[in-house]
Structure 1
Amino acid sequence: MNLLNATRSELTKQFSTSVWWILLIVLVLYIGSTAGGMAAVIAAGETGSLGGATTMPTGLGERIPRLIYGLATAMGYVFPLIVGTLLVTGEYRHKTLTPTFLATPRRGVALSAKMLAGIVMGLVFAVAAVGSTVVAGGGVLALFGIDPQLDSAETWALLGRMVLALVLWVLVGIGLGTLIRNQIAAVVGILAFTQFVEPIARLGAGLVEGLGDVARFLPGAASDALAGDSIYAIMGGGADQPLEWWAGGLVLAGYALLFALLGYAASWRRDVV
C-alpha cells in the first residue's frame, strides 16, 4: 500500500470511531468556557467593573485579545497531544496493528501515514480550539467594550501560528505513542507532565536564577513562544526572554521528530505480540 492509500486508511480508522468527536466537543466546551470566563474577569478588571477586586493583572491594554486567544494553545494543547497518542496506542490496545502492518509492510510508510493523518486531525482540533476562543473570548471582550482586534493582521498571524502549534502537538503525541506502547501509561504520563510537572517547573523557573533559560525549551514554553503570547506570562510562568516564535516552532517540531525517531528505533520495528 502506498503512502496516499495508507493515509486514507488511517483517516478512515480515526473518523469511524467516536473518540475523536467526543474529545472535540469536550475541547470546545472547555476552551470556550475558559476563554469566555477569563475574558470577563480580565475585561472587568481593565474597565473597573469589579471595583478593583481582582487578582488578575491590569493595564494589559491591547495585549488582552492575544492572551485570551492564546488559551487555545496554553491550555488546549493537551487535547491534540492525546489525540496523537491515541492514533498509535489505540492500535496496540485493540490489536489492530498486525493488520495495519500486513496492509502496509513498510513500517516507515505506515508511520508516515499516521503522521499525515495526524496533521489532518490536528487541523480539525486546531480550528475548533482557536475558533472557540475567538467566538467566546472575543465576544465577551466586545461586550465589555474592548476591541477583539479581529481586523488586525497581527491577530490573524497569531491565530495562524496557534493552529500550527496545535498541529505540531498531534505529531508530538504520535511520537510519544510510538515510543510508549501502553495506552494508559502514555495518557497518564501526558496528563501528569502537562498539568503538573511542566506548569510547576515554569512557575518555579522565575524563582531560581538560570532555570528560566532551561524552562523556555520545555515543550509547553516552546508552544507558547510559537503562538506569540500566553496567560502564563502574566502569571509568572513565562521565561524572562522567551524564544522567538520561529525558534519555538523548531523546538516543538524537534520534540515530535525526536520522539518519533526514538519510537521507531526502539518500539515500532519490533514484532507485534
Structure 2
Amino acid sequence: MSLVHATRSELTKQFTTSIWWILALILLLYVGVTAGGLGATFAAVASGVIGPDTMNGPAPSAEMLAPLIYSLATSVGYVFPLLIGTLLVTGEFRHKTLTPTFLATPRRGIALGGKVTAGLVMGGLYAVVGIIAAVAPGAGLLAGFGLDAQLGSSDTWALIGRMVLAFVLWVLVGIGAGTLIRNQVAAIVGVLAFTQFVEPIVRTVASFVDGLSTVTEYLPGAASDALVGASVFTTLGGAGDAGASLAWWGGGLLLLGYAAVFLVLGYLVSWRRDVS
C-alpha cells in the first residue's frame, strides 16, 4: 500500500470515531472561555474601565494585548493536538487493530508515515479550531473596549501562521510519544503529567533560580512558546522567562527535534516489535 492509501486509511479511522470532534469541541470551549475571560479583564484594564490596581501582577500594555490573547490557542490549547496525536497511535494498540493495519500495509515505515501525514492534517484542523476560539472573542473584546485588535498587522498573521505550525508539531510529538509508549493509559497520563504539571512547575521554579532558565528554555512547552513568539505565561511571568532567549525558528526546530527523536525511538523500540 502506498503512502497516499495509508494516509487515507488513517484519516478514515480518525473521522469515523467521535474522539476527534469531542476533543475539538473541548478545545473550542476551553480556549474560547479562557480568551474571553482574560481578554475582557486585560482590555478593561488597558482601556481604563477598571483600575490597574485590580491586577495582582503587572498588567500587559495595550500593544501586547492582541498577541497575548491570540496566542492562548497554543499556550493553553497545545495539549489537545498532543493528545490527538497520542491517541492516533495508542488507539491501535488498545483496540487490537494494529494487526489488520500491518496486514493491509506490511511495510511498517509506510504505515507510520501514513499516521504522520494524517497527523499533519489533524494538526491543521485543530489549529483552525484553536485559533478561531482565541482570535474571535479576543478581537471582538479588544474592539469593544476601543483597543486595536491588530488584525491588519502582518505581525499578527505571522503569529497565527506560527501557531498553525506549533499545532502540527505538537501532533507529531504526540504520535512519537504514542509510538514509543504502547499502553494508551500510560501514554496519556505521561503526556498530561509532564505538560500540565512537571514542566510548568519546573519553569516556575526557574524564575526564582538564577541560571535555571537557560536549561528550561529547551523544554517542549518553552520551545512552543518561543516558536509562537507570545505566551500568557512568559508575558506575565507565570512560568519565568524560560524560552524567551530562543528565536522563533529555534523553538520550531527544537519542537521538531522532539517529534523526530520520539518517532525514531518509537519506530526502533516499539513499532517494529511483534503484535498480537
Q: TM-score range by the shorter chain?
A: over 0.9
Q: Distance in 2 between matches of 1:209 and 1:57?
A: 21
Q: TM-score, normalised by structure 2?
A: 0.97
Aligned to 2:229: 228
1:185-227 CA distance string (max 9 Å, x none): 1111111111111111111111111110111110000001000
Contact 1:57 1:234 survives alignment (8 Å): no
Q: Aligned with 1:151: secondary structure?
A: coil
Counterpart check, 1:218 vs 2:202: no
Q: Distance in 1 between matches of 2:260 and 2:55?
A: 42
Counterpart check, 1:247 vs 2:250: yes
Aligned to 1:105: 106
TM-superposed CA distance for 1:240, in Å, is: 7.3
Aligned to 1:268, which of 238, 263, 271? 271
Aligned to 2:261: 258
1:93-126 CA distance string (max 9 Å, x none): 0000000000000101100110000000110001
TM-superposed CA distance for 1:56, in Å, is: 4.4
Q: Distance in 1 between matches of 2:116 and 2:60?
A: 42
Contact 1:42 1:56 survives alignment (8 Å): no
Q: Aligned with 1:243: secondary structure?
A: coil
Larger mean Cα displacement after TM superposition, 237-246 or 19-28: 237-246
TM-superposed CA distance for 1:59, in Å, is: 4.8
Q: Distance in 2 between matches of 1:193 and 1:165?
A: 18
Q: TM-score, normalised by structure 1?
A: 0.98
Q: Aligned with 2:54: secondary structure?
A: coil
Q: Distance in 2 between matches of 1:182 and 1:137?
A: 38
Aligned to 1:17: 17
Aligned to 2:195: 194
TM-superposed CA distance for 1:241, in Å, is: 4.0
Q: Distance in 1 between matches of 2:126 and 2:120?
A: 10
Counterpart check, 1:39 vs 2:42: no
TM-superposed CA distance for 1:131, in Å, is: 1.2
1:41-61 CA distance string (max 9 Å, x none): 111121222233122422523
Q: Aligned with 1:147: secondary structure?
A: coil
Structure 1: runs of 5 or more not aligned: none
Q: Aligned with 1:195: secondary structure?
A: helix
Q: Aligned with 2:96: secondary structure?
A: coil
Contact 2:222 2:243 survives alignment (8 Å): no
Q: Distance in 2 between matches of 1:189 and 1:240?
A: 22
Q: Distance in 2 between matches of 1:240 and 1:128?
A: 25
Aligned to 1:184: 185
| CA RMSD of superposed structures (Å) | 1.1
